[in-house]
Amino acid sequence: MTQEQAKKEILELTDRINYYNDLYYQESVSEISDFEFDQLLERLISLEKQYPEYNFSDSPSHRVGGTITKNFETVIHKYPMLSLGNTYSEEELLDFDKRVIKGLEGDAPEYFCELKFDGVALSLTYENGVLVQAVTRGDGTKGDNITANAKTIRTIPLKLKGDDIPQEFEVRGEAFMPSAVFKLLNEQRAANGEELLANPRNTASGTLKMQDSAVVAARKIDCYMYNLLGAEKNIKTHEASIKTIESWGFNVSPTYKLCKSISEVLDYIKEWEEKRKTLPVDTDGIVIKVNSLDHQEILGFTAKSPRWAIAYKYKTESASTILKDITYQVGRTGAITPVAELEPVLLAGTTVKRASLHNANEIARLDIRIGDTVYVEKGGEIIPKVTGVDTTFRKSDSKEHIYITHCPECGSELVREESEASHYCPNTENCPPQITGRILHFIHRKAMDIDSMGEQTIKLLYTEGLVKNIGDLYNLKYEQVVQLEGFKELSSKNLIDGIAKSKEAPFENVLFGMGIRFVGRTVAEKLVACFKNIDALMSASLEELMEVPEIGERIAQSLVSYFNNPKNRVLIEKLKDAGLNFEINEDDYQLAGDSLKDMSFVISGVFEKYGRDELKELIKSHGGKVVSSISAKLDYLVAGEKMGPAKLEKAAKLNIKIISEAEFDKMINL
């Protein structure tokens, strides 16, 4: 292939991929299969590798990441990134309006209202319609160049649409992690025994500073833009600039409104107070901007913020109470979580007694001390958090809290890896909550599904010396159980039967149940599909493991070290002897048929005949694929009872076939 031919093919591929991408992301339509699309992309990536001079900065290949940034370059902002003044009441807002009118010598301003998105401010520079740089806010004067990571955000255009695009300009906005993505990420982390992430904002911020842009791509960050700078076009109002950037292809939240007066602004504030909670992104207030750019220029700036804009912050439900103690919890992976033990206080309808303090850094940041008066809030997260300390009530003899150095359960000295925020108890073998935590994970519904057993029973079996690891469960005898406190004949029989039945669980459930760090349910399924049996998996090298799609070095490393531990090998032998499934049952899959071959399904709601996992298994065993979200590429939505209206609406809009449980049965000839 000549240079010219390569360039020609790269440009053709770029156009085709951009065309399919636009169609998919803007109109939810796909004209080619995922497979064909991936092939086009792979071809482009391979040509760009061979001919790096044609790896253009707006190439769609940058969306999937792969660039590693070791150190983010510091960039000085051409226009400083200022902050906004805050108001918390109607009164303060009316004062702002008065100041504006005075500044405009009596002229009545129009206000443009937007929601205040709780994310990370980004500044994007475009030259000749192509994204050339993305920089974080940093300290407002200089930020980090995170261009490779920003390119993985699907809603940031790499190349703009339209023919009236200025030669160079900046667009600013907020990158954020959608609440649903955050929730899912934390659910996966909980299932993997990983430390939970505190909130979507910090997660978005941490994600954009990751070195590997492929990991950023997988995190599904989104972005809303709200400011155009240096465009030097004939634009007279903020509203016109927003409409202009929208027309160029930027993602603008449709929640904005032009208000003729401050009283309309107050209506907007009321309108969004509750409604904002239904948005895909966390918001903590609204931003009010004087609409006319001439007016903005007259009003100008203070040292820190514009005089033509202000933020109105909604009140978060918070309460103050006394911190009675700080206790420490030990998770199944040995991770230590400090917990604030509070004087009970009523907050948003529930009594709060405990709040998470996350880790040692958070305790140091808050400088929280026992006896302090503290503020607790309920954010988007389920567990309330301590947001601050009121030091005016602090006694003069109060002492800085010293973080524990030894495990509160087993006394081992704690360790803390450089890259981790949490301390860990290294005594995996003998630390009681780690042992019982691992057993609890093993009997989980998505693992061995032993529902005749709960946390209390596990603790009892452990303290009675009957079960010390998951392998011991299969040696348990009815005669031993029936002697335990609280157990009668029937409950003992149920327990033993439940354990025996769990031996039928498929290999992926067993692998997930083993509780290997970072091996969640989805990862377990991928490994099983690839290696088919435990011996092949155990003998795989780090490199072989990393060849499995979506298995990165962190997971591969964790698997290698788990299987290198002789104690784990003994445990696996014990489980094998007990008769657990350690290989894929290919017969099952072949026998079931291929009536759903190449079809994709989303399952939603509750079903009469099947459990959700059962339904998933049926789809897979008939050649179909189960996906988690509704897109135009989806073939069927299997709708059960209590399914959310939003999903139904989306599926209907995209013309997806919606089928009942009975219709599904017909498809697999049941």
Are the beta carbons of 582 and 616 closer than 8 angstroms?
no
CA atoms of 133 and 73, how far apart (whole Å): 11
Q: Does 424 bind ligand IVH (CB under 6 A)?
A: no
CA atoms of 195 and 332, how far apart (whole Å): 11
Burial of 96 (0-12, 13-18, 19+ CB in 10 A): buried
Q: Does 121 bind ligand IVH (CB under 6 A)?
A: yes
Q: At which residue do the structure tokens 């909604």 appear?
A: 314
Give the end-to-end CA distance of the chain in Å, rounded to a whole number: 54
**Smallest separation (angstroms) from ligand IVH to the CB of 430:** 48
**Smallest separation (angstroms) from ligand IVH to the CB of 82:** 4
Are the beta carbons of 407 and 424 closer than 8 angstroms?
no
Residue list 226-245, contact with ligand IVH (CB under 6 A): 226-227
What are the helix and strand counts (H, E) for the chain?
Answer: 25, 20
Residue list 169-228, contact with ligand IVH (CB under 6 A): 174, 226-227
Judged by beta carbon, residue 311 or residue 528, the one nearer ligand IVH is 311
Per residue, the 3-state secondary structure of 463-499, as one string, reads: HCCCCCCHHHHHHCCHHHHHCCCCCCHHHHHHHHHHH
Tokens of 238: 């903020």
Judged by beta carbon, residue 156 or residue 311, the one nearer ligand IVH is 311
In the list 171, 287, 461, 495, the residue contacting ligand IVH (rule: CB under 6 A) is 287
Judged by beta carbon, residue 113 or residue 630, the one nearer ligand IVH is 113
371: left (phi over 0), alpha (psi -120 to 50) or beta: left
**Smallest separation (angstroms) from ligand IVH to the CB of 224:** 7
Q: Does 276 bind ligand IVH (CB under 6 A)?
A: no
User: Which listed range, 52-60, 212-220, 304-312, 533-541, lies at the site for ligand IVH (CB under 6 A)?
Assistant: 304-312
Judged by beta carbon, residue 119 or residue 193, the one nearer ligand IVH is 119
**Smallest separation (angstroms) from ligand IVH to the CB of 227:** 6
Judged by beta carbon, residue 31 or residue 273, the one nearer ligand IVH is 273
CA atoms of 409 and 427, how far apart (whole Å): 10
Judged by beta carbon, residue 111 or residue 226, the one nearer ligand IVH is 226
**Smallest separation (angstroms) from ligand IVH to the CB of 116:** 4
Sorted by sequence, the CB contacts under 8 Å of residue 447 that are 6+ apart come out as 441, 505, 509, 510, 512, 513
**Smallest separation (angstroms) from ligand IVH to the CB of 86:** 7
Judged by beta carbon, residue 201 or residue 369, the one nearer ligand IVH is 201
Residue list 69-88, contact with ligand IVH (CB under 6 A): 82-84
**Smallest separation (angstroms) from ligand IVH to the CB of 141:** 13
**Smallest separation (angstroms) from ligand IVH to the CB of 26:** 22
**Smallest separation (angstroms) from ligand IVH to the CB of 231:** 16
Q: Does 117 bind ligand IVH (CB under 6 A)?
A: yes
CA atoms of 621 and 332, how far apart (whole Å): 33
Q: Is 209 annotated as catalytic?
A: no
- In DSSP notation, 411-428 reads -PBPB--TT-SS-B---T
- ∠ CA 32-36-42, nearest 5°, is 135
- Closest Cα partner for 250 from 173, 178, 363? 173
| Residue with nearest beta carbon to ligand IVH | 121
CA atoms of 123 and 383, how far apart (whole Å): 33
**Smallest separation (angstroms) from ligand IVH to the CB of 309:** 6
Number of chain positions touching ligand IVH (CB under 6 A): 15
Q: How many CB atoms lie within 10 A of CB 589?
A: 15
Judged by beta carbon, residue 138 or residue 408, the one nearer ligand IVH is 138
Helical packing angle, 200-208 and 179-191, nearest 10°: 80
In the list 153, 156, 160, 311, the residue contacting ligand IVH (rule: CB under 6 A) is 311
Are the beta carbons of 223 and 174 closer than 8 angstroms?
yes
Residue list 362-391, contact with ligand IVH (CB under 6 A): none
CA atoms of 392 and 345, how far apart (whole Å): 20
Q: Which member of 7, 116, 159, 650 is catalytic?
A: 116
Are the beta carbons of 102 and 308 closer than 8 angstroms?
no
Q: Does 137 bind ligand IVH (CB under 6 A)?
A: yes
598: left (phi over 0), alpha (psi -120 to 50) or beta: left
Q: How many CB atoms lie within 10 A of CB 332?
A: 20
Q: Does 101 bind ligand IVH (CB under 6 A)?
A: no
Q: How many CB atoms lie within 10 A of CB 188?
A: 15
Judged by beta carbon, residue 162 or residue 300, the one nearer ligand IVH is 300
**Smallest separation (angstroms) from ligand IVH to the CB of 77:** 12
In the list 58, 97, 114, 525, the residue contacting ligand IVH (rule: CB under 6 A) is 114
Judged by beta carbon, residue 174 or residue 525, the one nearer ligand IVH is 174
Helical packing angle, 262-275 and 90-103, nearest 10°: 140
Judged by beta carbon, residue 201 or residue 378, the one nearer ligand IVH is 201
- Closest Cα partner for 376 from 353, 349, 408, 405? 353
User: Which listed range, 24-32, 47-55, 303-311, 593-601, lies at the site for ligand IVH (CB under 6 A)?
Assistant: 303-311
Listing from the earlier edge strand, what are the strands of the sheet with 309-313? 86-87, 309-313, 283-290, 111-117, 257-259
What are φ and ψ of residue 362, in 5° steps? -65, -40
In the list 306, 408, 498, 605, the residue contacting ligand IVH (rule: CB under 6 A) is 306
- Closest Cα partner for 435 from 427, 444, 445? 427
**Smallest separation (angstroms) from ligand IVH to the CB of 621:** 47
Q: How many CB atoms lie within 10 A of CB 408?
A: 14
Judged by beta carbon, residue 40 or residue 82, the one nearer ligand IVH is 82
Residues of this chain that interact with ligand IVH (CB under 6 A) are 82-84, 114, 116-117, 121, 137, 174, 226-227, 287, 306, 309, 311
Question: Which residues have a catalytic role annotated?
Answer: 116
